[in-house]
Protein backbone atom coordinates (compact mmCIF):
# COMPACT_ATOMS: atom_id res chain seq x y z
CA UNK A 1 0.00 0.00 0.00
CA UNK A 2 1.33 3.41 -0.96
CA UNK A 3 0.55 6.34 1.29
CA UNK A 4 0.20 9.71 -0.40
CA UNK A 5 2.18 12.31 1.53
CA UNK A 6 0.60 15.76 1.47
CA UNK A 7 3.11 17.60 3.68
CA UNK A 8 6.71 16.91 4.71
CA UNK A 9 8.39 18.24 7.85
CA UNK A 10 12.15 17.97 8.23
CA UNK A 11 12.95 17.94 11.94
CA UNK A 12 16.39 16.35 11.61
CA UNK A 13 18.90 17.77 14.06
CA UNK A 14 16.16 19.02 16.40
CA UNK A 15 15.62 17.65 19.90
CA UNK A 16 12.47 17.16 21.92
CA UNK A 17 9.99 18.85 21.82
CA UNK A 18 10.72 20.53 18.48
CA UNK A 19 9.88 17.63 16.10
CA UNK A 20 6.45 17.31 17.70
CA UNK A 21 5.85 21.06 17.75
CA UNK A 22 6.73 21.35 14.06
CA UNK A 23 4.38 18.45 13.31
CA UNK A 24 1.52 20.06 15.26
CA UNK A 25 2.01 23.32 13.36
CA UNK A 26 1.93 21.49 10.02
CA UNK A 27 -1.15 19.48 11.00
CA UNK A 28 -3.01 22.67 11.92
CA UNK A 29 -2.61 23.87 8.32
CA UNK A 30 -3.78 20.57 6.80
CA UNK A 31 -7.21 19.18 5.90
CA UNK A 32 -8.74 16.11 7.55
CA UNK A 33 -7.57 12.90 5.86
CA UNK A 34 -4.29 14.36 4.62
CA UNK A 35 -0.99 12.73 5.57
CA UNK A 36 2.07 14.30 7.15
CA UNK A 37 5.56 12.78 7.04
CA UNK A 38 8.00 13.89 9.74
CA UNK A 39 11.70 13.06 9.48
CA UNK A 40 13.64 13.33 12.75
CA UNK A 41 16.91 12.27 14.34
CA UNK A 42 15.67 12.43 17.95
CA UNK A 43 15.04 8.85 19.10
CA UNK A 44 12.55 10.19 21.64
CA UNK A 45 10.32 11.15 18.73
CA UNK A 46 9.16 7.52 18.49
CA UNK A 47 7.48 7.66 21.89
CA UNK A 48 6.41 11.28 21.43
CA UNK A 49 4.51 10.56 18.21
CA UNK A 50 2.87 7.41 19.62
CA UNK A 51 1.55 9.31 22.63
CA UNK A 52 0.56 12.31 20.51
CA UNK A 53 -1.47 10.12 18.13
CA UNK A 54 -3.27 8.42 21.02
CA UNK A 55 -4.11 11.71 22.71
CA UNK A 56 -5.01 13.73 19.60
CA UNK A 57 -6.96 11.11 17.67
CA UNK A 58 -4.73 11.44 14.60
CA UNK A 59 -3.65 8.10 13.10
CA UNK A 60 0.03 7.16 13.31
CA UNK A 61 0.21 5.12 10.11
CA UNK A 62 3.92 4.37 10.18
CA UNK A 63 6.95 4.88 12.39
CA UNK A 64 10.29 3.61 11.12
CA UNK A 65 14.01 4.01 11.82
CA UNK A 66 16.81 3.62 9.30
CA UNK A 67 20.42 4.61 10.07
CA UNK A 68 19.37 6.93 12.90
CA UNK A 69 16.67 8.67 10.86
CA UNK A 70 13.15 8.29 12.24
CA UNK A 71 10.21 8.68 9.87
CA UNK A 72 6.68 9.12 11.15
CA UNK A 73 3.56 9.29 8.99
CA UNK A 74 0.40 10.73 10.51
CA UNK A 75 -3.08 11.00 8.99
CA UNK A 76 -4.96 14.02 10.26
CA UNK A 77 -8.37 13.24 11.73
Catalytic residues: 16
How many angstroms separate the Cα of 38 from the Cα of each of 18, 41, 77? 11, 10, 17
Determine the Cα–Cα distance for residues 7 and 27; give it in Å rounded to an integer. 9
Amino acid sequence: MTIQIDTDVDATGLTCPMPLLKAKRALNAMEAGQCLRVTATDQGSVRDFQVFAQQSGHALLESNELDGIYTHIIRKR
